[in-house]
Amino acid sequence: MNRPLGILTLFLSLMNPGAPAETIKRVALVFDDGPRPADAGPLLELLAREKVSVTFSLVGDRVNESPGMALAIAAAGHEIANHSQTHSHPKDLADAALDREVTAAQEKITATVGRAPRWYWPPFLEIDDRVRAAVARAALTPYTPRHLVVSMDYDTAVPAAEIYRRATTDVTDGTVILCHEWRAETREQLPAILAELRRQGCVFLTFSALYDSLAASTPRQP
């Protein structure tokens, strides 16, 4: 094991001291579609108690409505990703409108929290060459998970027990777990979800920390 990788392994072990280094799974939780003060506030309190940092993918229009909450998310140490200006389906937009969706949200988030998002997290996970081109023009990168687990909490017909099951099943090293801050059942299940994921050896990272950690542990090609 080279020295940088050894330091990384030690760091991850400290984040979940109950898990052997060889079983550690690096995961990122992302909470979509905010900020919504009535939902994000309790979620921030819960994450602080759990000592977990996550990624919030924020919508520009909602940042415009609740700038204080966006700032609170950033101040709490969570990462913010660009989730478009209006949460429209990218595939339904003309090129100029797609550009505006990306750049308007980037400008609004940056002006509000004082730093520019690194990542674009596409609404409805719709990604194609047009979206990639628009994101590149905004000097952003679309976040592409190594593995994605979807809690399905966006479907109000999915009960709390199923949200828990989906969020804790098929989780591997490098997984992104998709949730929504506005679903009360998700917040109610989150302590149990985090406990089960910790039991599985998971450590919780933001998008950037997960990306950089995976890159650091990937052997370089000769």
39-95 confidence digits (pLDDT tens): 999 999 999 999 999 999 999 999 999 999 999 999 999 999 999 999 999 999 999
In a domain, 222, yes or no: no
In a domain, 166, yes or no: yes
| CATH number of the domain to which 173 belongs | 3.20.20.370
Q: Domain containing 84: what range?
A: 3-216
In a domain, 199, yes or no: yes
In a domain, 36, yes or no: yes
Q: How many domains does the chain have?
A: 1
pTM here is 0.90
Report pLDDT for 219: 72
Report pLDDT for 218: 79
Report pLDDT for 2: 47
Residue 81: name the closest of 132, 44, 39, 115 by CA. Answer: 115
> Residue 47: what residue type?
L
Report pLDDT for 22: 60
CA distance 109 to 121: 14
Coil, helix or strand at residue 60: helix
> Residue 93: what residue type?
L
**Segments of the chain scoring below 50 in pLDDT:** 1-3, 5, 7, 10
Number of H helices, E strands in the chain: 9, 8
Count of CB atoms situated within 10 Å of the CB of 96: 9
CA distance 207 to 209: 6
In a domain, 61, yes or no: yes
In a domain, 53, yes or no: yes
Helix axes 95-113, 67-75, angle to 10 degrees: 60
In a domain, 221, yes or no: no
